Chain A
């Protein structure tokens, strides 16, 4: 497993502003992921962040709206840009570590709950 710290844990933001969420892992990991969980919904993958290359975004998510940095193997940031109330959600950082059978297991940070007014 891995210990994953996210901040802020929660924030209330004004429409049109941007917020950067930080994710720190206690060990070096290759794969880091950013998920969104809207109220009452399951997890939706926003993008995969790999160190040394641009993030890979899923359908429906674009770099201009959700820029991601991955400067090293223990840290990543996700920015939610030009926020609207529809961006109110929990944003989760996750990492993949080696589990049983040398296959990947996904672990999550505590999440960042954003409310956009």
Chain B
């Protein structure tokens, strides 16, 4: 079982719609959770971090965390073509960052 799991996609989203990305993790002792965006040929860029249960909003992005279900999600509202990228979920477990395989998002005009 992988420690951090994501659907690989691609997730096709019409422009202006909401993109919903999911991530599950195996280590119940995980402390902090992150979403990274990676454009093709570029390095990952941190877009959201979340540490406690519930929602955290930053602009068009909302991260949701449910530690009981070991589940993290990212919502992208009003999706734009510039949101087309691979989104990596990362979990910090006892000081070690574990990454999911990433979900490719394609926003279609």
Contacts and interface: CB of A to CB of B under 8 A. Distances in A.
Measured as residues with beta carbon below 8 angstroms from the partner, the interface class of chain B is 20 to 34
B102 to A, nearest CB: 6
A34 B80 CA distance: 32
A106 B101 contact: no
B43 A109 contact: yes
A23 B46 CA distance: 19
Contacts of A100: 49, 51
B51 A101 contact: yes
Nearest to B86: A42
A109 B32 CA distance: 21
Interface of B: 31-32, 34, 42-46, 49, 51, 88, 90, 92, 95-97, 99-102
Interface of A: 1, 33, 41-43, 45, 90, 92, 96, 99-101, 103-111
Given A42-B99, A107-B46, 15 more contacts: A1-B46, A33-B97, A41-B101, A43-B44, A43-B88, A43-B99, A103-B32, A103-B49, A103-B51, A104-B32, A105-B46, A106-B90, A106-B97, A108-B44, A111-B42
